[in-house]
């Protein structure tokens, strides 16, 4: 049940009944308690109570800030400054940050709902493929690795997607990068099963020497440098300046003599282009995983059904990118022709 304005005022009155109003320090304590109570319960206040809190806080903050500024440095002043900053969004409550990933995304962008729909459809098709494949007996380290890594990739995708929906962009990129590594390992173990035997030995030195990401790409005959992998590393897995730029913004202030100021986000970074990129990459990686699973487990699948699965999955992905990624790129004034050309020439495109 929402907390009403009458209940909120009752809470404030009760706090002052319990204090000596002639004692300034006690009044300060009770004001802090009321502010903390209002902050912690703000989401469950009704509309009238929220409006009241907003008005009162403006006046209370002015008074409390003056009181805090006049206090000598010490635990009381520092605690009061923290409480004031919580009200002004300059400080954080750990419980609030924890709840971000426990609750529906608070961000509003058309791509979020569209990505969720496309992602869920592609993921279900992959789960169906793996169900069919695992109804059969598999032997040897290569088959164990391919099945295990496929399900591992699903968990990585789930993590990446949840983080993308909540605008935890650095963390989403990191999980997408792991999926890229897993997809390459699955392909290598399918084409060259001997490497799965080494992978399963636990010989860390030899495994790293022969199966680190760049070594796997070399064995697969792909370029040593993968621009997408580098992008995901810089923005996700590694503590780079580019990664920090994805969660911070310079704030311009008037006057050439002003020092540079930056805003750094905690609990998600609401930069639209990163929200678009992470959600789009999750959808695309889900398609990659589906295609990989179909390829390596093809002998256990129904050919007629899989033909339709590939075509429908391509159409789902193509429609998503046309409507949401290309649409965003147009609005952002970016060159979107390369992706349109790619979509026009994809193998899943139906002939006229």
What does the pLDDT read at residue 219? 97
Q: Are 224 and 212 in contact (CB under 8 A)?
A: no
- CA dist 61 and 46 (Å) reads 21
Residue-level pLDDT at 347: 60
- The predicted pLDDT at position 19 comes to 59
Query: In the predicted model, is pLDDT for residue 351 greater than 60?
Result: no
Find the length of the chain.
352
Query: For residue 156, what are its two tokens?
Result: 């990585």
Q: Please state, in angstroms and rounded to a whole number, the distance separating the CA atoms of residues 92 and 83.
A: 10
Cα torsion angle, 38, 44, 49, 53, sign: positive
Residue pLDDT, tens place only, 302-338? 999 999 999 999 999 999 999 999 989 998 999 989 8
* Annotated domain spans of the chain: 5-91, 110-344
Longest dimension (CA), the chain: 85
* pLDDT tens digits for range 82-108: 877 776 677 888 888 888 898 888 888
For residue 55, give every residue at least 6 positions away whose Cβ sits within 8 Å of its Cβ, in sequence order, or none: none
pTM for the full model? 0.80
Q: What proportion of the chain, given as a percentage, has pLDDT over 90? A: 57
Question: 150 and 289 in contact (C-beta within 8 Å)?
Answer: yes
């Amino acid at each position: 049940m929402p907390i009403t304005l009458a209940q909120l005022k009752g809470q404030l009155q009760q706090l002052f009944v319990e204090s000596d109003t002639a004692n300034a320090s006690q009044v300060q304590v009770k004001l802090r308690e009321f502010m903390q109570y209002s902050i912690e319960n703000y989401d469950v206040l009704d509309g009238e109570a929220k409006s009241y809190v907003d008005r009162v806080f403006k006046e209370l903050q002015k008074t409390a800030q003056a009181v805090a500024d006049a206090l000598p440095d010490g635990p009381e002043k520092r605690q009061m400054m923290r409480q004031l900053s919580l009200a002004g969004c300059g400080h954080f409550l750990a419980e609030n940050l924890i709840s971000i990933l426990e609750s529906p995304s608070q961000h509003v962008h058309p791509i979020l709902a569209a990505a969720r729909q496309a992602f869920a459809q592609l993921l279900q098709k992959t789960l169906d493929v793996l169900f069919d494949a695992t109804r059969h007996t598999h032997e040897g380290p290569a088959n164990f690795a391919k099945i295990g890594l496929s399900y591992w990739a699903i968990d990585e995708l789930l993590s990446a997607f949840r983080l993308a929906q909540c605008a935890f962009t650095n963390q989403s990129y990191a999980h997408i990068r792991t999926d890229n590594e897993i997809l390459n390992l699955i392909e290598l173990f399918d084409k060259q099963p001997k490497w799965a035997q080494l992978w399963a030995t636990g010989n860390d030195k030899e495994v790293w020497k022969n199966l680190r990401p760049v070594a796997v790409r070399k064995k697969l005959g792909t370029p040593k440098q993968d621009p997408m992998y580098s992008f995901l590393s810089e923005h996700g897995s590694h503590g780079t300046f580019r990664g920090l730029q994805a969660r911070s913004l310079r704030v311009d202030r008037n006057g050439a003599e002003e020092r540079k100021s930056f805003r750094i986000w905690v609990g998600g970074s609401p930069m639209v282009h990163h929200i678009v990129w992470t959600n789009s990459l999750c959808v695309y990686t889900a398609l990659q995983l589906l295609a990989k699973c179909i390829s390596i487990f093809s002998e256990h699948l129904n050919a007629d059904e899989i033909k339709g699965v590939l075509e429908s999955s391509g159409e789902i992905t193509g429609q998503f990118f046309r409507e949401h990624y290309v649409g965003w790129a147009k609005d952002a004034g970016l060159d979107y022709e390369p992706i349109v050309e790619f979509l026009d020439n994809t193998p899943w495109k139906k002939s006229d």
